[in-house]
A and B are shown apart, each in its own frame.
Chain A
């Protein structure tokens, strides 16, 4: 499995990371080195093995579906790069 520049561009976009066109071939090369290393996993016989979900056998706990925290909009917004009138502000999403 070899990753080409086009695949690198697609993955970068899926990850929402802007990568300049001229950097894509080097990035594809790095992916190939890592994936080449990962490729060893195909040697392992995994027939009948369940994929691990949790290292310790535990059921995720459930709690009552009630509000346990809240009413602190200022704390929630305190670190926002752009907050206005009690909301997070972002560029226009809907035309």
Chain B
């Protein structure tokens, strides 16, 4: 078979079961593609030996029959996931050399299902960023370019390496995590599909924590069907994560019928932002028409507190981060600063953290420290949590009124150039998450999928937001939209 790296999970699964190829062949093709793709800086730790060993084991299992869908599928793993004995640094210098003694629940489940790990993927440091420019490994690069312009574009963030690797066929699929849009924004920037599940659907155990009430891992894949297959393998109750839900995991793939007749799709007026590019507006209108043509009922809805989602997020996420990242103290793991004569433990903490954390991470830790500090806790943190309750109530009311899913743009623009935002203040970068962050605050499932391109040929994505725990229904609506949009463009290979 030719072009093994271009296979979808479903395509590879079927070919493997028919004996048309082997996991070792697909894995070797991916490893070769990765070797030639250094310019994308998507992979930051390479694990070819592990990959080939897992692929051989997968082939034996497939040969014996009865192998699960993910068996033999080569994946890239975001650096945020702890993988036993393999560097897991959250793209931070403070975790330099850290090799966990344990395996995250998500990667355990994937490996138990027979999946193959090709390596660890680039990301924004501690998942804090929207452009993959805060990584200690340097920028990941988007395989897409603006026509013939050679300017390097961002793959988005924080799961930028995952997005770049999937879009450039350096793996069949990748894991991502999403705290404010970190799966969906990079998916939209690179023309791939990314799902953030309902909060509690996927175990957070062994995933390096950023903001624990918002973090959720999910699949980043080449199409909606692959998202469904991979989510089934990642999800499930885990006693090691007290917020993981005790709910059965359906066969999400079996729910993809493409039939959305009579489904009610909400179009929220508050997502029509001032200054939104016409192309995004047109993409959204086209997507609405496609769902209508597929038999869905389109309904104008209002989510009145949308405007306050980003400011609430930029209180809650830094507050939780300041607490979660207190553990990086130079004592138990990672970097410890060289100390001067007479330095005590406080100097050790302060120097270690100053050296180990990048600027954006430091900024967020300090903002979080400030909003939690005596005298400001009520004014900032508690107020933000109240606004969060109102944002969730907006969604609850819309769903109670019969809306099945909500259609919005995924991002306010196509991928921008690396370095283009360097002079902007931090808030400008935060605006990237304006359409995605509400979903995290309300704990809902959301999926981004490509439905068109802009004038320069860059992919653009739409987002569908679903009811809690109804990823199956959400994936089916996304499947109908995917079929109607027929997005097949791929980046031309320049790397």
Would you call A66 an interface residue if the criterion is a C-beta within 8 Å of the partner chain's C-beta atoms?
A: no
Q: Which of B362, B373, B382 contacts A51, CB < 8 Å?
A: B382
**Which of chain B's residues has its CB closest to A61's CB?**
B242
Assuming the A-B contacts A17-B354, A38-B311, A79-B332, are A52 and B370 also in contact, with contact meaning beta carbons closer than 8 angstroms in the complex? Answer: no
Q: Evaluate contact between A91 and B348: CB separation under 8 angstroms.
A: yes
B392 interface hit (Cβ, 8 Å): yes
Picked from B362, B367, B387, B425, the residue with its CB within 8 Å of the CB of A46 is: B387
State which residues 14-42 of A face B: CB under 8 Å.
Answer: 14-19, 27, 30-31, 33-35, 37-42
Q: Are A30 and B425 in contact (CB under 8 A)?
A: yes
The number of chain B residues with a CB under 8 A from chain A is 72
**Cα separation A34 to B347 with both chains bound (whole Å):** 28
Chain A positions 40-88 with a Cβ under 8 Å from a chain B Cβ: 40-44, 46, 49-56, 58, 60-61, 63, 72, 75-76, 78-82, 88
Bound complex: CA of A11 vs CA of B375, how far in Å?
Answer: 13
Q: In angstroms, how far is the closest chain B Cβ from the Cβ of A93? A: 5
CB-CB under 8 A from A19, the residues of chain B are 354, 362
Instruction: Give complex CA distance A27, B363 in Å.
Output: 8
Q: How many pairs, one residue from A and one from B, have CB atoms within 8 Å of each other in the complex?
A: 165
Complex formed: what's the CA distance from A17 to B362 in Å?
8
A34 close to B427 (CB less than 8 A): yes
With contact pairs A51-B386, A55-B213, A55-B443 given, residues A41 and B365 touching in the complex (Cβ less than 8 Å): no
The 8 A CB mask of B243-261 against A (1 = contact, 0 = none) is 1010000000000000000
Taking the closest CB of chain A, its distance from the CB of B360, in whole angstroms, is 10
A46: chain B residues within 8 A (beta carbon): 383, 386-387, 390
| Interface size classification for chain A | 35 or more
**B351 close to A18 (CB less than 8 A):** yes
Would you call the interface of chain B mostly helix, strand, loop, or mixed? helix
Q: Contact check, A33 vs B243: say whether CB atoms are below 8 A apart.
A: no
- What CA separation (Å) do A39 and B371 show in the bound complex? 12
Q: Which A residue's beta carbon lies closest to that of B331?
A: A88
Q: Which residues of A contact B380 (CB under 8 A)?
A: 38, 41
A34, B331: Cβ atoms closer than 8 Å: no
Residues of chain B within 8 A of A58, CB atoms compared: 200, 243, 245
Q: A18-B351, A41-B308 are in contact. Are A79 and B425 (CB under 8 A)?
A: no
Chain A residues contacting B354 (CB-CB under 8 Å) are 17-19
Bound complex: CA A55 to CA B199 (Å)? 8
| Given A14-B369, A15-B365, A93-B344, also A38-B315 (CB < 8 A) | yes
Q: Which residues of A contact B347 (CB under 8 A)?
A: 18, 91
Q: Which residues 381-418 in B have Cβ within 8 Å of A in the complex? A: 382-390, 392
Query: Which residues of chain A are near B443, meaning CB under 8 Å?
Result: 55-56
User: Would you list 30 pairs from A and B whose C-beta atoms are within 8 A, ordered by A residue?
Assistant: A11-B366, A12-B366, A14-B373, A15-B353, A15-B369, A16-B349, A18-B353, A18-B354, A27-B366, A34-B314, A35-B370, A38-B311, A38-B380, A39-B311, A40-B311, A44-B308, A46-B390, A51-B386, A51-B388, A52-B385, A55-B441, A56-B199, A58-B200, A60-B243, A61-B242, A79-B100, A91-B343, A91-B345, A92-B344, A92-B345
Across the A-B interface, the 8 shortest Cβ-Cβ residue pairs: A55-B443, A51-B385, A81-B336, A79-B333, A18-B350, A18-B354, A46-B386, A75-B101
Taking A81-B335, A91-B339 as known contacts, 8 extra A-B pairs with beta carbons closer than 8 A to each other, sorted by chain A number, are A3-B370, A15-B362, A31-B366, A38-B384, A55-B199, A55-B441, A58-B245, A88-B331
B residues at A contact (CB < 8 Å): 97-101, 198-200, 213, 239, 242-243, 245, 305, 307-308, 310-312, 314-315, 322, 326, 329-336, 339, 343-351, 353-354, 357, 362-363, 365-367, 369-371, 373, 380, 382-390, 392, 425-427, 430, 441-443, 468
